[in-house]
Structure 1
Amino acid sequence: MNGGMPKPTIKDVALEAGVSLGTASRVINRFSDVNVEMRLRVERAIRKLGYTPDAVAQSMRSRSTRTIGILIRDFSSPAFVSFATVVQSLLYREGYVPLLAGYADEPRRELEILSAFAQRRIDGLIVTTSSDSDARLADTRRKLAVPTILFDRDPDGEQDTIAVDHRSGIQQVMTYLLKLGHRRVALLTGAHHVRPARERIEAFIKAHHDAGLVLDPMLLRTGSFTAEFAEQQSVDLLALPNRPTAIIAGGVNMLPGVLLAIRAAGLSIPKDISVVSSTNPELCELFMPTVTELRVDYGAMGVEASQLMLGRVQGTIKGPPRILRFDTTLIERESCAPPHV
């Protein structure tokens, strides 16, 4: 209804359909034990009147808002977009509305979004927190008191976790580059307080140790996963008197920054420098030469995360926290070659 007329109520629906208020309520709230004819009559009345349920009232009765919060660093990465798109589709199919938000590497914003989720009484949370060690963030998540999945962060013993094996990924890359003859390899990645960066750093250091190489600390650049950080650090690396012969972009958003710095330096890939990227399939495949990539199937992660979350909120999955691990696959392309001497 419009034009200033009162919003139709469930009583109006029941009257229009010629059924009891209880029957109308059971159809609207998706109870299955309703006669098919009665259900069709109520649904026709709903369409005719333009009735929409009061979501707040429904959530107070059912103690469920049928909303799932999804909080990640940002949505600029195709990898994260792939994950979120799959999750959104699968949750929506089951009658849940995802609330997507990004905190742009700002812990304060992350706290504010978690508070907003709490006010909206979400039923579950999937989160890539900005810090594994921030007690305020952990406490805020805990106070939500809803099923929570930590996305590629350290298991906390309380919540479910889906995690990528970044350590194995760096091991694969270093083995590949060392076989090509590289001895000065640079790694760009995020800050040590988040699991993906920490695993990459530890694997990078171990690979040098296992190969009997002394790691030049100038070749390990940590602090952020952004393209801007990657560009700034790559410019600095390429200006060194003894510059690296290969660069690993250890973050899903970092490759554009690395490529910009290499172009600005007037260098050629892979003749002057080799490049390996974390998951960024579109850019890795479209850039010429194509870029060797550490691929993670973020779509598959989205499927597993959705199924786990639905199981938790619907009560079909119970018991202790689960940890789901996902492998990385090295896809060799044209951006790596033996170092030019």
Structure 2
Amino acid sequence: MARKTGKAATISDVAMKSGVSVGTVSRTLNAPDTVRPATLRRVRAIIDELGFQPDARAQNMRRRRTATVGFIVDDISNPLHAITFKAAEAELREHGYWLHLVNTEGKARQEADAIERLQHGRVDGLIMTINNEKDVQCRDRLAALRVPSVLLDREIELAIDAVLTDHAPGLFQATDYLLEIGHRRIALITAGPEIRPGRERVKGFVEAFGRRKLACPHELIRSQRLSPDFGFHEASSLMQGPDRPTAIIAGGNRILVGVLKAIQQQRIVIPDELSLVTCDSTDLTRLYPGPLTVVDRDIEDIGRTAAQLLLERLGDRHNAPARRILVSTRLILGGSCAPSPPG
């Protein structure tokens, strides 16, 4: 427990109480892999007990020795992560940094291990996406981060920089477009409420019906996971029902893969029998079997912006308030939508 006195603890206080040199305390903070495990545990315990806060400017200067930034993703098979990584890497390389990629497979334990291992002397900063914004342990880990960090499209009320996407307006445009051409039975398959994209896409979808004073088909909202399996299961279920939708919005490129598989299995013709809208342009959306209608955003800009925020934090903005940058979305019409079929 941190001591409750008016005087801030110094590095000398930590060294004296730990029974080690000031240099050992410094290495505990900045190069923990050079300190014996037992000593490391003892010094960290004293740091917590005294409530010692290292000088941020000095730490930033020392951490520069690694010239490496960690990039943590939840699904390496997601092509958007590859685009984001490439853009961030190009920006960071210009400033002498390398990017180290870690895939957590969307598993909380692997995510925790990645954050813990990377931040202790292995990287100067982190760029990351997390699997569940509402997970208490995840929030605690983020609150205790020892290195500058940037979140990708995740919204947590902590003092952490973030690059967010304005999903709701894009989903509003897509839904409103489908309503304009006569669709009423519109299904949305998207991520769950534990991450920002899921919440914001549902928000835009519901708002489009409300703006036209139409009843929103809440039973057609399937909000859970960003995975091909989830997309396939939900699209298959929806299309086998007695009152199937005339349009589907796939809220994510991984969901789209599953939706397209279900459509092919059931021999549904797009757009004659079903209109389809998806999110984010990829090679698949541009080629299948003609361009799909897409709610798009600049993924490369997200990567560049995340890198720039981190570089600023590693430089002279280390003590500045956290920043949140919002990236816009827009609807791009393709050949996958048609007026609602009669009946």
TM-score bracket for this pair, using the shorter chain length: 0.7 to 0.9
Structure 1, residues 307-329: CA drift from partner, whole Å, max 9, x if none?
Answer: 11111112256521111000011
SS for the counterpart of 2:294 is: strand
Task: Report what 2:142 is aligned to.
Answer: 141
Distance 1:113 1:289 in 2: 40
Find out whether 1:236 has 2:250 as its counterpart: no
Task: Report what 2:248 is aligned to.
Answer: 247
Task: Report what 1:167 is aligned to.
Answer: 168
Native 8 Å contact 2:286 2:292 kept in 1: yes
Shift of 1:138: 1.9
Structure 1, residues 172-219: CA drift from partner, whole Å, max 9, x if none?
Answer: 101110111000000001111111101111222222222222233331
Native 8 Å contact 2:119 2:147 kept in 1: no
Q: How does 1:49-128 map to 2 (within 5 A)?
A: 62-64=62-64, 65-128=66-129
The more displaced of 179-188 and 124-133 is: 124-133
Native 8 Å contact 2:190 2:223 kept in 1: yes
Counterpart amino acid of residue 275 in structure 1: L
Q: CA distance change for structure 1 residues 60 and 308 in 2, over 3 Å: closer, same or farther? A: closer
Task: Report what 1:275 is aligned to.
Answer: 276
Native 8 Å contact 2:249 2:277 kept in 1: yes
Task: Report what 1:8 is aligned to.
Answer: none
Counterpart amino acid of residue 282 in structure 2: P
Shift of 1:61: 9.6
Distance 2:184 2:279 in 1: 20
Native 8 Å contact 2:60 2:314 kept in 1: no
Task: Report what 2:23 is aligned to.
Answer: none
The size of the alignment, in residue pairs, is: 286
Distance 1:268 1:160 in 2: 44
Native 8 Å contact 2:119 2:146 kept in 1: no
Percent identical? 33
Shift of 1:66: 1.8
Counterpart amino acid of residue 71 in structure 1: I
Task: Report what 1:303 is aligned to.
Answer: 304
Native 8 Å contact 1:308 1:317 kept in 2: no
Shift of 1:340: 1.4
Task: Report what 2:42 is aligned to.
Answer: none
Task: Report what 1:190 is aligned to.
Answer: 191
Distance 2:61 2:252 in 1: 44
SS for the counterpart of 2:87 is: helix
Distance 2:249 2:145 in 1: 38
The more displaced of 119-128 and 243-252 is: 119-128
The more displaced of 78-87 and 140-149 is: 140-149
Native 8 Å contact 2:127 2:150 kept in 1: yes
Q: How does 1:207-222 map to 2 (within 5 A)?
A: 207-222=208-223
TM-score of the superposition, structure 2-length normalised?
0.79
Distance 2:60 2:219 in 1: 57
SS for the counterpart of 2:99 is: strand
Shift of 1:285: 1.0
Structure 1, residues 137-182: CA drift from partner, whole Å, max 9, x if none?
Answer: 1221232321111111114240111100000111110111011100
Shift of 1:303: 1.2
Following TM superposition, the consecutive aligned residue runs of length 4 or more in structure 1 with deviations greater than 6 angstroms are none
Counterpart amino acid of residue 114 in structure 1: I
Counterpart amino acid of residue 62 in structure 1: R
What is the aligned-residue RMSD (CA, Å)? 2.1
Distance 1:287 1:102 in 2: 28
Where does the alignment leave 5 or more consecutive residues of structure 1 unmatched?
1-53
Task: Report what 1:152 is aligned to.
Answer: 153
Distance 1:213 1:106 in 2: 39
Distance 2:118 2:209 in 1: 44
Distance 1:238 1:120 in 2: 52
Native 8 Å contact 1:67 1:98 kept in 2: yes
Shift of 1:252: 2.7
Task: Report what 1:314 is aligned to.
Answer: 315
Shift of 1:68: 1.1
Task: Report what 2:202 is aligned to.
Answer: 201
The more displaced of 136-145 and 159-168 is: 136-145
Native 8 Å contact 2:270 2:336 kept in 1: yes
Shift of 1:220: 0.6
Q: CA distance change for structure 1 residues 262 and 295 in 2, over 3 Å: closer, same or farther? A: same
Task: Report what 1:260 is aligned to.
Answer: 261
Distance 1:156 1:136 in 2: 14
SS for the counterpart of 1:301 is: helix
* Greater Cα radius of gyration, structure 1 or 2: 1
SS for the counterpart of 2:76 is: coil
Q: How does 1:4-15 map to 2 (within 5 A)?
A: none
Distance 1:302 1:146 in 2: 19
